[in-house]
Structure 1
Amino acid sequence: MRRTLLAAALAFGIILPAAAQDAATPPKRKTAQEIVDAAPASAWRDLDPANTLYMELPGGRVIIELAPGFAPEHVANIKTMAKGGFWDGLTIYRVQDNFVVQFGDAEGEEAGKAKPYPAGTKTHLPAEFTRSAKGVRFDKLPDVDGWAPEVGFADGMPAARDPKTGTLWMTHCYGIVGAGRNNAPDSSIAAELYVVIGQAPRALDHQLSLVGRVIKGMELLSVMPRGPAPMGFYEKPGQRAPIISIKLASDVPEVQRTPLQLLRTDSQAFIDATEARRNRVDDFYTQPAGHIDLCNVPLPVRETPKG
């Protein structure tokens, strides 16, 4: 009956009462950004300074949230090296297009040129490619993934889970930080780190120890000049990008810190914002996708509100 009334009204130019118009027009759905902007304070968590790195480059600050739950021994070594100033004065020496930037001691394999590790640095670590999923909250996405039985978020990090083996691992999404290694699985000590700057290389999942993710400052890394093929290592030392310092935020005076909050992945705001991205209904999109890839789910970050 309502459709008949609406059709007749349109045919004869009749103006329907406001109530009839409202009933005929579906309510406007909020965008993902509108949902995030309206998220209550309880939906946000503070960035922990004890698990945050400040990477100071000539162009600005790159902020990295560490993931001790996934790679505890690698993260402990990173903290030791950061406290000892290991990366201060070293360089970003590899930028491979659509893949990674890599930094550390470019001369580390040359006899007599390697920078000494700070006291307390462990020179052998186990491979930390996966962790036990037991007791870990996993905010699962309903979407099918080609690389793992289940994908979602754990400890605020994009992750995958295999219920059959009871294992959980971080995924190589844009901005993820990993520890470089040689062929031996246990050949990394987290002195050489890389950041994904291209399309997610998910074939590397549970092949390397992933130690965190960049939450602010990716634009400083993604615009760097690419090194030559095939692997992007700069051929001349002068091409390398200098690192002023890498420090734990907890070792930086509070007035010099960047106060940030991250949207909790178990919050209703995060769930709703992800659904809004999965099925976009704004004027540009002609057909909702009905699907979202794990690495296309942004993890919202904001400056901590004052007061």
Structure 2
Amino acid sequence: MNTYLLVPAALALMGQAALPKLLTPTDVVNAAPASAWKTIPADELLVMDLANGGRVVIQLAPMFAPVHVANVQKMARANYWPGATVYRVQDNYVAQWGLGETEKPLPPGVLAKPPAEYTRALAGLNITPLGSPDPYAPAAGFVDGWPVAYSPSEGWANLTHCYGYVGVSRGMDPETGSAADLYANIGHAPRHLDRNIASVGRVVEGIDKLSSLPRGTEGLGFYKDKSQHVPIASIRLASQVSAADRPAFEYMDTASPTFAQYLKIRANRRDDFYIRPAGGVDLCNVQVPVRRKPTGERG
């Protein structure tokens, strides 16, 4: 055997072994220190339990739609939703739930016609820029754990319609929707809805319980008759759930050095699978990490 032929191969293997491990976004999340995480208040978690045992947990976004979110919280505390169902599931688009066409008076204090909370003032927001162009707004980035589009010149910002994000069902403009009926995006991010519908939060757990439902066969994905509706057992705030069953979540601080590293890698993947980094990333593809709060850290 010619030992000289083995030397280059051996050197190549040694060189590979000496190379530092290329981090993935998952590596960054798994190694994130406790200081990189922020707890979601129990009053800002909406817990929807389906009658079949599935649970969907939604983080509310009062900093973007304060009146609509306040409506949701008041309806939850007033136990407004008995009889609610998922009555629309449109493929690659939305799953929608609530009381539908059932006429029921709103609880006291719920505003039937909230303001059009499709944007908010940019002033006061400490935004971490995306670093890549956004096709739907002059700029995009992250603030307090949320993806946002914004205009530095016009001074507005909006929560974006990414996968799993929750919006308020409404009729034709100027109808804004009371938030009695909501929907979650279960397909390609419908960013064309930005600044046209109030976005009130995101599903942090259980989106599969909605995205896996049978598709409605009528126009816009509505179920043909009520026998197809998916019953909802309850819709409550996490603060209304017993301590033993109460979900607790935290999100990565988007102003932290850990998120900056996560964002950089999301836009410039260089681990073993990727031949060439893209050098940019879509806003909705930088899913802000959200995790269940470690048991030992729960209040």
TM above 0.5, one fold?
yes
Give the 3-state SS of the residue equivalent to 1:169 in structure 2: strand
Verify: 1:32 aligned to 2:33, yes or no: no
Compute the displacement of 1:80 (Å).
Answer: 0.9
Q: Which position in structure 1 is the counterpart of 2:78?
A: 84
Q: Which position in structure 2 is the counterpart of 1:274?
A: 263
Q: Which position in structure 2 is the counterpart of 1:3?
A: none
Which deviates further from its counterpart, 294-303 or 278-287?
Answer: 278-287
Give the 3-state SS of the residue equivalent to 1:243 in structure 2: strand
Contact 2:74 2:107 in 1 (8 A): yes
Partner Cα separation in structure 2 for residue 128 and residue 219 of structure 1: 28
User: Larger Cα Rg: Structure 1 or Structure 2?
Assistant: 1
Match of 2:91 among 82, 94, 97: 97
Compute the displacement of 1:24 (Å).
Answer: 10
Q: In structure 2, what residue type is equivalent to 1:258?
A: P
Partner Cα separation in structure 2 for residue 205 and residue 182 of structure 1: 16
Partner Cα separation in structure 1 for residue 126 and residue 106 of structure 2: 35
Give runs of aligned pairs for residues 200-279 of structure 1, distance below 5 A.
200-279=189-268
Match of 2:105 among 94, 116, 125: 116
Q: Which position in structure 2 is the counterpart of 1:191?
A: 180
Verify: 1:295 aligned to 2:279, yes or no: no
Partner Cα separation in structure 2 for residue 42 and residue 187 of structure 1: 38
Compute the displacement of 1:51 (Å).
Answer: 1.0
Give the 3-state SS of the residue equivalent to 1:302 in structure 2: strand
Match of 2:101 among 91, 97, 107: 107
> What stretches of structure 2 of length at least 5 have no aligned partner?
none
Q: In structure 1, what residue type is equivalent to 2:211?
A: S
Match of 1:146 among 135, 157, 171: 135
Q: Which position in structure 2 is the counterpart of 1:127?
A: 116
Partner Cα separation in structure 2 for residue 33 and residue 177 of structure 1: 25
Runs of 4+ aligned structure 1 residues displaced above 3 Å come to 21-26
Compute the displacement of 1:246 (Å).
Answer: 0.6
Compute the displacement of 1:157 (Å).
Answer: 1.6
Match of 2:44 among 36, 44, 51: 51
Contact 1:143 1:292 in 2 (8 A): yes
Pairwise CA RMSD: 2.1
Compute the displacement of 1:216 (Å).
Answer: 0.7
Deviations 1:109-145 (A, max 9, x none): xxxxx12322222222111000001011212110111
Partner Cα separation in structure 1 for residue 292 and residue 124 of structure 2: 31
- Matched residue pairs, number? 291
Partner Cα separation in structure 2 for residue 94 and residue 24 of structure 1: 53
Partner Cα separation in structure 2 for residue 131 and residue 194 of structure 1: 21
Identity across the alignment (%):
46
Give the 3-state SS of the residue equivalent to 1:254 in structure 2: coil
Compute the displacement of 1:155 (Å).
Answer: 2.8
Partner Cα separation in structure 2 for residue 285 and residue 187 of structure 1: 44
Deviations 1:151-172 (A, max 9, x none): 1112322110101110000111
Contact 1:175 1:195 in 2 (8 A): yes
Change over 3 Å in CA distance of 1:175–1:12 after alignment to 2: closer
Partner Cα separation in structure 2 for residue 305 and residue 172 of structure 1: 29
Compute the displacement of 1:214 (Å).
Answer: 0.6
Q: Given the two structures, how large is their TM-score scaled by the length of structure 1?
A: 0.89
Compute the displacement of 1:107 (Å).
Answer: 2.4
Contact 2:42 2:248 in 1 (8 A): no
Contact 1:126 1:186 in 2 (8 A): no
Deviations 1:3-47 (A, max 9, x none): xxxxxxx9782777x9xx669954222111111111000001112
Change over 3 Å in CA distance of 1:96–1:148 after alignment to 2: same
Compute the displacement of 1:228 (Å).
Answer: 1.5
Partner Cα separation in structure 1 for residue 17 and residue 221 of structure 2: 58
Partner Cα separation in structure 1 for residue 200 and residue 268 of structure 2: 32
Contact 2:94 2:183 in 1 (8 A): yes
